């Protein structure tokens, strides 16, 4: 097993880390304090990023022919998903919220890459796309979506409400999850690209949040919103046997990305903690943890958790690039990274005492930012439930 990062990704990582330290960090506090102001400094960065990752978008992932025959022709690949994960880790070393608000780098882009056909990729691939899944009263159960899509000639008519839409105000389009028939259940849930300015789509409000304040989070309503039938991503057919699998391919792409965000923040917190405490620590990595100072032992434990989360995210991304079913691994990486990312940043605040709690440093901000990474794209509990179902071979009805 070769755990080294392929050389072709080194320039991407270097460029992303440079952006994290020279673009993100200097404005990080500014947009934490001015939550709903748009970070204009990111426009130039967005132009530079457009062609940097394999797939064109740092959150775009990889798309294309998923067949076993095509995969055999391609051989082992380190492609768009791997590129995106490594890019995200490096940029979140600077600021998660700013990453989430870079134009044309939305979570909806990953949804498009996961299920769009070739024609749709040409139309939507370069858009800045947000993703609208969560609804009032639905919580983490994405299969219980109440927003409806009714076919009307060459259009679908959408009705429903969405909340916690990342980049919902700023994105060019929203990828909306809706059901074609509530009676059929999760198999009837499809995703639709609704472009900004479409009649019937209304921005209801912007949320005020604990963390990732540089990123706007919106509530959006859809009232008789007419969307071209060609904007339904993937196949319009309802396949009861396949069930929710087609839509869940989106999560298989995006959950390793969220894991990568948590890994990037955790690395930043550990490094700053070591810098702030450098006069009090001198870690001997050849010595057992029990022989180290208490603070040194805590740092060693955090580094071990960080490394485990990093490798899990990379593994899930590699599997996606190679068209290997990665639903379990995507959830494992998200569960691990989300939990340890939040735990590491809080522990770093604790270890640095008043320096960690003060706004003079970014540790307290990273602790606030990291909590959402354990919540969105499926909470910790949901990820563990998915892993249990996959491991035990049980359906969602059999294990709730």
Catalytic residues, by residue number, are: 377
Q: Are 262 and 337 in contact (CB under 8 A)?
A: yes
* Residue 43 Cα distances to 11, 23, 102, 118, angstroms: 21, 11, 7, 28
Q: Which three-class secondary structure string do you get for 256-325?
A: HHHHHHHHHHHHHHHHHHHHHCCCCCCCCCCCCHHHCCHHHHHHHHHHHHHHHHHHHHHHHHHHHHCCCC
Alpha-helical runs (H) found in the chain: 10-19, 25-33, 42-49, 68-74, 80-91, 96-99, 107-115, 118-124, 245-276, 294-321, 327-351, 353-357, 363-371, 380-392
Distance linking the first and last C-alpha atoms of the chain: 36
C-alpha to C-alpha distance for 286 and 277, rounded to whole angstroms: 20
- For residue 51, count other CB atoms closer than 10 A to its CB: 7
Q: Are 125 and 64 in contact (CB under 8 A)?
A: no
Number of helices (H), then strands (E), in the chain? 14, 7
Q: Are 332 and 256 in contact (CB under 8 A)?
A: no
CA 10 to chain CA centroid, Å, is: 22
Q: Are 108 and 138 in contact (CB under 8 A)?
A: no
Q: Are 383 and 335 in contact (CB under 8 A)?
A: yes
Phi-psi region of 106 (alpha: psi -120 to 50; beta: other; left: phi over 0): beta
* Residue 108 Cα distances to 17, 40, 128, 201, 253, angstroms: 24, 21, 8, 17, 11
Closest CA to 383 of 244, 190, 247, 251: 251
* Residue 341 Cα distances to 216, 238, 305, 306, 356, angstroms: 22, 38, 9, 8, 16
Q: What share of the chain is helix, strand, coil (3-state, %, to 5)?
A: 50, 15, 35
């Amino acid at each position: 097993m070769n755990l080294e990062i392929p050389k072709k990704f080194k320039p991407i990582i270097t460029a992303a880390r440079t952006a994290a330290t020279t673009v993100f960090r200097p404005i990080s506090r500014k947009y934490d304090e001015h939550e709903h102001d748009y970070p204009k400094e990111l426009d130039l960065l967005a132009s530079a990023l457009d062609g940097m990752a394999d797939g064109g978008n740092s959150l775009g992932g990889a798309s294309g022919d998923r067949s076993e025959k095509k995969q055999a022709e391609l051989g082992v690949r380190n492609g768009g998903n791997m590129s995106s994960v490594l890019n995200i880790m490096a940029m979140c070393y600077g600021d998660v919220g700013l990453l989430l608000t870079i134009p044309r780098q939305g979570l909806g882009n990953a949804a498009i890459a996961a299920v769009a056909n070739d024609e749709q990729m040409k139309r939507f691939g370069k858009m800045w796309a947000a993703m609208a899944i969560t609804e009032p009263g639905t919580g983490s159960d994405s299969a219980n979506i109440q927003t409806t899509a009714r076919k009307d000639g060459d259009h679908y008519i959408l009705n429903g409400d969405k909340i916690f839409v990342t980049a919902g105000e700023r994105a060019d389009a929203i990828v909306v999850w809706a059901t074609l028939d509530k009676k059929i259940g999760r198999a009837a849930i499809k995703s639709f690209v609704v472009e900004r300015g479409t009649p019937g789509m209304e921005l209801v409000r912007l949320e005020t949040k604990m963390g990732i304040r540089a990123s706007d989070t919106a509530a959006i309503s859809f009232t008789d919103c007419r969307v071209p039938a060609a904007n339904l991503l993937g196949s319009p057919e309802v396949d009861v046997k396949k069930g929710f699998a087609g839509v869940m391919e989106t999560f298989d792409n995006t959950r390793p990305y969220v894991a990568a965000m948590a890994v990037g923040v955790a690395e930043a917190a550990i490094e700053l903690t070591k810098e702030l405490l450098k006069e009090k620590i001198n870690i001997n990595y050849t010595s057992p943890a029990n022989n180290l100072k208490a603070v040194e032992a805590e740092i060693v434990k955090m580094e071990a958790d960080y490394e485990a989360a990093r490798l899990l995210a990379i593994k899930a991304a590699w599997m996606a690039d190679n068209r290997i079913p990665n639903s379990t691994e995507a959830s494992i990486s998200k569960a691990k990274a989300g939990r340890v990312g939040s735990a590491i940043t809080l522990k770093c605040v604790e270890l640095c005492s008043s320096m960690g709690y003060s706004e003079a440093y970014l540790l307290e901000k990273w602790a606030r930012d990291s909590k959402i990474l354990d919540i969105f794209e499926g909470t910790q509990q949901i990820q563990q439930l998915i892993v249990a179902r996959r491991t035990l071979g049980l359906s969602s009805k059999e294990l709730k």
